[in-house]
Structure 1
């Protein structure tokens, strides 16, 4: 009988990989999404563009969604380090270039290219973490996702300060340079080894592999129809695509929404950045809590809690649009942030548990394609409704409807044993 070797002293290398991935997400997502939402107000003021156009600049980040289908083949061919590092460099260079732009079309093009960088980073993070963790994958991937929201917590106040002092253009260039400077050193140091097998280690144990143990080999990815036929995949697609309408619409417009209402009521400057920062810190907490819970509780229960938090946050912002004050803004940002943080950790770990290892990358890419498609369309729709009606109230009320409909696949999933 083969005995499992004792753990080597020191931190398991997989957690070093997670630290590097945490930093990658912190910079690419923190600067590329959270910080970029603060550019909406100065862009509107400088160019006189509509709110739909400027909101579209934020959501154009997701136009690279079809690339998610190639995530698994890319990482098989080039490895996680090259894939994630390429995404980081692309995001860095395009954000620097955005600081020089004066054309709406060019800004959209650069945001699309920046989205390519984000997709490469995000797909690489999820698949690479899956190669290092099995039993604790929920906590590991949640820690990686927490980095995205930690980026919002740390980069949003810095971004607002820079915009106030040096303008949005110089701010974009500074943030672009910071993405590569902060991220690449630890990626190079800790993620070049693609899996525990390459180090001769057992996942999550850290001991040396016995000579009699064969290292697993990646199998061929299944056909798309085979992937979509799995209950965990259609449940994931249904819940996240409907729930992501409010997620995408609000996260993109949160700063502009709060600043607009604050200006109308004379509540002062900077409340929008404060609300985004509060959303980011609670999203970080939500990611860690839901990631911990994903290793212990069924996905149907967790998705129900997450959707209820999303509804509470969206309804809170409706109350803000109807006249709610700073306390309502803060409570709405907290509920919304917890829901945002839990979105991926609720779904992705259970997808990994319910599918064969060689299927996970393909299934994740398929799910992420639909998810990003909604995140692209929802902010533009909300911005257009704002331009048509003159306020965010109708748009926020419309965003609530799909979240309520997300309970339909959740109820249908109650019949699937793996989800309850």
Structure 2
């Protein structure tokens, strides 16, 4: 069945789809996203204390963030493949151990390479295991018609994590120091490992797999208008066949450039606002409040995508992001409360909004037993883009001595990310989506 991304993706799901177990699955995905991104993105609060103690350059600091993003990206396909093979207990348990261990070790570093290994590599691997690659695959086993809404709720854990963790970490740094703050966060996450392992994952993973239900649906006999290939049913999708489709690479483009645009500025937001004249706690709170707004923004984006179509929801979110970045540009000239409110409001509402859209499109287009692996490689583009963006942002800051060039780079990357959704663009045309069969209750 051909679906245009400018058309609604379907009517709201019936109530039977949101069973208690399905709701629990979405809630757990929310919590894991909250922990992963909340702990990892709170690194921005450590930049100034680390620079003060060790004298490291801003490029070195953003390089740590880039390493975390790169590792999260490179590990995402592996996390998806391991999830497809071994299930959530193994992957989520390992993710919590890596995230907590990396945070705890970061509080004991004495050299730069140790920071890269702990806060970069270990935390990045933990975020990959706890993130949306596994969550989207798991949620896809329980939801069909309201998949975008369900995924967006899980995605909103990103924003809540930033909202609560960043001000909390900043408070801990101000009161007990950055080392104790790192170790406290790490120990808390490690304490959750046995709790995770004890959960009834056999039931939560679904007694039957959604892709098996889809495979029993009527076969598609027409040509794939995106890839140009003819397939018999969605279970035929493999990573190799997906990578031959135009839709795959357009989704990669959206994720990569969105991440470049966001992460060339976000790791330096607290430092930028502090150096512009705002207090450290006000800067951290502003960044955290933007995360709060993103929670509602992601849920609304998923709801709009289910009803108005992916393209309209995506273009609206890109417009809001651009407006928020313009607020940062205004702050680079004169730090005013109005410009700060503009950044928090517009950037916050749209922060993370593309995630539910791309996740849902990937799960609909490439449904099948390899869905986790395929989405893992698409998700990797987001993390690689974040690594490139954060590293480039640090280099631009050190080269220019300010943030204006960083902000302008962010605007250009957001324009490239929005291009596939423009009228007449690839993702605004017909997308060969497979008919999803009703979920078989566990």
Residue number among 116, 120, 133 corresponding to 2:129 in the alignment: 120
Structure 1 residue 190 displacement after superposition: 4.6
Match of 1:72? 80
Change (3 A) 1:353 1:297: farther
Runs of 4+ in structure 1 deviating by more than 4 angstroms, as ranges, are: 218-221
Contact 2:237 2:366 (C-alpha < 8 Å) held by counterparts: no
Structure 1 residue 219 displacement after superposition: 5.2
Structure 1 residue 398 displacement after superposition: 2.0
Match of 2:179? 169
SS in 1 for 2:378: helix
Residue number among 302, 315, 324 corresponding to 1:304 in the alignment: 315
Change (3 A) 1:51 1:192: farther
CA–CA distance in structure 2, aligned partners of residues 297 and 49 of structure 1: 48
Structure 1 residue 73 displacement after superposition: 2.4
CA–CA distance in structure 1, aligned partners of residues 307 and 190 of structure 2: 36
Match of 2:53? 46
Match of 1:207? none
CA–CA distance in structure 2, aligned partners of residues 121 and 413 of structure 1: 31
- Unaligned stretches of 5+ in structure 1? 1-5, 204-211
Change (3 A) 1:158 1:416: same
SS in 2 for 1:134: coil
Residues 40-60 of structure 1, C-alpha deviation per residue, up to 9 Å, x if partnerless?
111111111111111111222
SS in 2 for 1:418: strand
Residue number among 64, 75, 100 corresponding to 1:57 in the alignment: 64
Structure 1 residue 183 displacement after superposition: 6.8
Under a length normalisation based on structure 2, what TM-score does the superposition of the two structures give?
0.83
Residues 319-348 of structure 1, C-alpha deviation per residue, up to 9 Å, x if partnerless?
111113122112212211222230201211
Change (3 A) 1:408 1:76: closer
SS in 2 for 1:357: coil
Q: Which runs of structure 2 are paired with 1:15-414 in the superposition (5 Å)?
A: 15-33=23-41, 35-64=42-71, 65-110=73-118, 111-122=120-131, 123-182=133-192, 185=195, 188-197=198-207, 222-224=238-240, 226-262=241-277, 267-411=278-422, 412-413=425-426
CA–CA distance in structure 1, aligned partners of residues 254 and 417 of structure 2: 5
Under a length normalisation based on structure 1, what TM-score does the superposition of the two structures give?
0.87
| Higher relative contact order (CA closer than 8 Å, sequence separation 6+) | 2
CA–CA distance in structure 2, aligned partners of residues 409 and 158 of structure 1: 38
Q: Which stretch shows the higher mean deviation, 166-175 or 107-116?
A: 107-116
Change (3 A) 1:381 1:81: same
Higher helix fraction: Structure 1 or Structure 2? 1
- Unaligned stretches of 5+ in structure 2? 1-13, 218-233, 434-442
What is the root-mean-square deviation of aligned Cα atoms in Å? 2.8
Contact 1:88 1:183 (C-alpha < 8 Å) held by counterparts: yes
Contact 1:17 1:190 (C-alpha < 8 Å) held by counterparts: no
SS in 2 for 1:38: helix
Match of 2:221? none
